[in-house]
Amino acid sequence: MTTLDATRREHVPSTPAAAGAAWHTAAAEELAAAGRWEQAYQHLRTAVRLLNGRSGVDELDRLRREHAEAREQSRRDSLTETYNRRYLDERLVALVREPGSVGPAGIAVALLDVDHFKQINDTYGHPFGDRVLQRIVAVIESCLPEGSFCARYGGEEFAIVLPGHDRHEAVRVCETARERVDGHPWPELAPGLRVTVSIGVAHGFGPVTGQDGLIASADRLLYAAKHSGRNAVAFHDAHTGLVRLAGPAAGRRSLPQAPVAAPDCLEGPSAP
């Protein structure tokens, strides 16, 4: 017997409006239990309208908006307004648990670090450093394709998540972000200022069985990018497993070879 059947048998509302409200409330409960939240809300909204008229619906809509706003704020970094570490962790878990959501191309996770950021803070002060981070986020997010997102990983380090993108596409997106940060008119903030970033790009081919493997691989590649001279994007060559640098940095000779990605992050044969 469903909740709707139980409602019909166990409750005999005194008015047609109450009967309708009871039915819609029971329907909302069943839909919510099945995870069909939007449909559940519509039934609940109808129940409130039957019992309390338009004023009740308006109040329910207001509460829903406030809840949605509060939930969104809890996902955002207060300084840069990009997503925060909490959202990153939750979203990555969801993505790697459902390989179908990233498609046959797999998923890429990149870690980006601002080069010599401590020196910027020491020279210009922390409020100025905050403005630099805000601009960097604006530049990064302007480069991201639909369905991707940026999140503050900690301090001056950010994560870029690219679901449904193969290795080649992910490296291209990250190299574009690096170029745009490097070419940004930083002297607008302070004469002579130049800001660059280093990025490590890890790619997982489904099924990906652990988000920690992607993060760890991206972190090792970020280390390689930093120690190759900074202002570079590092990734694993799909064929040799060796670390390579994208764009103009590709010709650098001093290139640390980070270990290949962890076993729980299966690498696919995508290019480059």
**Which of helix, strand or coil describes residue 209?**
coil
Residue whose pair of structure tokens reads 């980070």 in the numeric block: 258
226 close to 200: Cβ distance less than 8 angstroms: no
CB half-sphere exposure, 155, CA atoms < 13 A: 11
Task: Report how far Cα 166 is from the mean position of its chain's Cα atoms.
Answer: 17
109 close to 215: Cβ distance less than 8 angstroms: yes
169 close to 103: Cβ distance less than 8 angstroms: no
Beta bridge partner(s), residue 236 = 243
Q: How far apart are CA 168 and CA 210, in angstroms?
A: 21
Q: Which helix (H) or strand (E) holds 212?
A: helix 211-227
Backbone angles phi, psi at 83, to 5 degrees: -70, 155
> Cβ contacts of residue 39 below 8 Å, gap of 6+?
31
Q: What token pair was written down for 209?
A: 């069985």
What Å distances lie between residue 239 and 120, 244, 270, CA to CA? Answer: 39, 11, 9
DSSP 91-105: HHHHHHH-GGGT-TT
Q: Could you tell me whether strands 233-236 and 243-245 are parallel, antiparallel, or unpaired per DSSP bridges?
A: antiparallel
Pick the catalytic residue from 98, 156, 169, 175: 156
156 among known catalytic residues:
yes
Residue whose pair of structure tokens reads 């670390």 in the numeric block: 243
Q: Hey, which residues are catalytic here?
A: 156
